[in-house]
Amino acid sequence: MVKEKNKHNKIVIGFAISLCIYLVIAMYFKNHFYFGSEINHINVSGKTVEEVKEQMTSKLKVYTVNIKERGGKTEQIKSVDIGLRYNSGGKYDKFKHIQNPLNWISAFFSTKNLKMTDVVIYNEELLKEKVGKLSCVNISNVVEPREPGFKYTDKGYMIIDEVNGNKVNKDILCDKVIKAIFSGEDTIDLEAANCYVNPKYTSKSERTIDNKNLLNKYISSKITYTFGNHKEIIDGSIINNWLKIDGNFGVVLDDQKEKSYINSLFNTYNTVGKARSFVTTSGKTINISGGDYGWSINTAKEIQNLNKTIKEGKTVVKEPVYIQTAFSHDSNDIGNTYVEIDMTNQHLWFYKNGAIIAQGDVVTGNESNNDLTPQGIYSLKYKEKNATLTGEDYSTPVECWMPFNGGIGIHDASWRDEFGGDIYKTNGSHGCINSPYYLAKTIFDNIEKGTPIICYY
């Protein structure tokens, strides 16, 4: 009986002591935060509201965001730089109030009512200004990122590594600083936070390798142009100067460089209107220009064909596409088949394969009426039998009509009894070459379209 009473007394005493301890601790938590309490990830366990206010204010005053940059450099943005402050508005008291001192034991089993986020505010303009003054965004310190490049060598193209540079995206950096402030972080690693503007491709990217292979395909092309006995070769040593990488990191041909080169090349072989040295039948060497006779390459069409060949990586031997052809690719493209008209001496010769087929006196354009036949080298446009020539004040039938310069041509003139001499000065034609029938007929029967007609004084 005594033992049971003692046991009962011990339980009562133990309970009383525990209750006393519980109440003492409860009294402590009446003015102090629970253990494990955090505000903005800052431990405020066992502190009073006033102590927390002082702690948070003190913490904020020295708060600094460290910015880790490439090359091991670090810069800071301090709270004072951006007007950073808390905007608790009495929330510390409310936070303490929800921690019922009598429920302090629950804090060991639940995080409910242990964490609080205090709102921080900052001056947005000051933040932008501070970020703008950082060394890492100073334009004088910025190395722009660059995509991989390609270098032409006699063994083909090689890849030049990309340049990462150190250019920072200021908008992303500002965003990361703001997030760091709200989360209480004190360090931003620009690399890890993806704040740098990086090249889209690297030297190992599939697109880069594809570009290199495509460039090498293009320069493997070889185009040999033939101009009679002359040849012009376009190969990788030339093509590489036309290749470039565009803004989409694609291989393209530089139209302007290619066109400039092709125009320069073809200019040698385009002879229409160019001055030529010509040895007349009398043995005199003259320089004659003008007219429409000669070679004329269709440059636009040829560039299209050239580009197709380059993109296919082919080797071809070809003539260029011509708008107009001449009789010879020699330095004097007239060749040895032509009509020579000496308009001063009013005489015509027709050579075929170097031999005189026909010659005779003619009458050319009327000098007194300013209808002189223009000098120059022209090509025969066509020949027509039994044509009718018409003008403002005439309509004349002829048997042999051979135009070479617009409405000017060689034809028979049955209405004339005489040819040659000074007739052209006062009684000449409207510009045509009036010929005796036999002469016009012989030329007509032996001449071909495109034959050069040489007119000179």
In 3D space, the residue among 440, 445, 386 whose CA is nearest the CA of residue 411 turns out to be 440
Does a structural domain hold residue 46? yes
Q: Show which of 95, 120, 137 is a domain's final residue.
A: 137
Does a structural domain hold residue 389? yes
Q: Show which of 121, 137, 153 is a domain's final residue.
A: 137
Does a structural domain hold residue 176? no
Whichever domain contains 425, its CATH number is 2.40.440.10
Q: Are 445 and 404 contacting, i.e. CB atoms less than 8 angstroms apart?
A: no
Residues 123, 84 share a domain: yes
- What's the gap between Cα 200 and its chain centre? 17
Residues 345, 448 share a domain: yes
Domain that holds residue 442: 338-456
The model scores a pTM over 0.85: no
Angle of helix 255-267 relative to helix 299-312, nearest 10 degrees, comes to: 120
The token duo for 90 is 């009495």
Q: Are 33 and 20 contacting, i.e. CB atoms less than 8 angstroms apart?
A: no
Strand residues in 364-451 grouped as ranges (E)? 376-379, 384-390, 395-405, 408-412, 433-435
Residues 373, 434 share a domain: yes
User: pLDDT value at position 47?
Assistant: 87
Strand partners, 376: 455
Which residues are part of the catalytic machinery? 411, 432
User: pLDDT value at position 2?
Assistant: 54
Does a structural domain hold residue 202? no
Does a structural domain hold residue 155? no
User: pLDDT value at position 389?
Assistant: 94
* DSSP structure class, residue 104: G
User: pLDDT value at position 4?
Assistant: 63
Does a structural domain hold residue 246? yes
User: pLDDT value at position 355?
Assistant: 98
Residues 245, 312 share a domain: yes
Q: Show which of 137, 155, 184 is a domain's final residue.
A: 137
Residues 382, 343 share a domain: yes
Residues 218, 114 share a domain: no
Helix (H) or strand (E) holding 276: strand 276-279
Residues 301, 214 share a domain: yes
Spell out the per-residue pLDDT of the chain, length 457, in tens: 555 666 666 776 777 777 788 887 878 888 998 898 888 778 888 889 888 887 777 777 888 999 999 989 999 999 999 998 877 655 878 888 888 888 888 878 877 888 877 767 889 999 999 999 999 999 999 999 999 999 999 999 999 999 999 999 999 999 999 999 888 789 999 999 999 999 999 999 999 999 999 999 999 999 999 999 999 999 999 999 999 999 999 999 999 999 999 999 999 999 999 999 999 999 999 999 999 999 999 999 999 999 999 999 999 999 999 999 999 998 889 999 999 999 999 999 999 999 999 999 999 999 999 999 999 999 999 999 999 999 887 899 999 999 999 999 999 999 999 999 999 999 999 999 999 999 999 999 999 999 999 999 9
User: pLDDT value at position 6?
Assistant: 65
User: pLDDT value at position 27?
Assistant: 83
User: pLDDT value at position 90?
Assistant: 59
Does a structural domain hold residue 95? yes
User: pLDDT value at position 8?
Assistant: 63
Does a structural domain hold residue 175? no
Alpha-carbon distance 423 to 425, whole Å? 5
Residues 220, 317 share a domain: yes
User: pLDDT value at position 85?
Assistant: 84
Residues 314, 263 share a domain: yes
Alpha-carbon distance 19 to 106, whole Å? 16
Residues 97, 48 share a domain: yes
Give the N- to C-terminal CA distance of the chain in Å, as an integer: 159
Residues 319, 389 share a domain: no
Residues 378, 315 share a domain: no
Whichever domain contains 228, its CATH number is 3.10.20.800
Phi-psi region of 449 (alpha: psi -120 to 50; beta: other; left: phi over 0): beta
Domain total in the chain: 3
Q: Within 10 Å of residue 213's Cβ, how many Cβ atoms?
A: 13
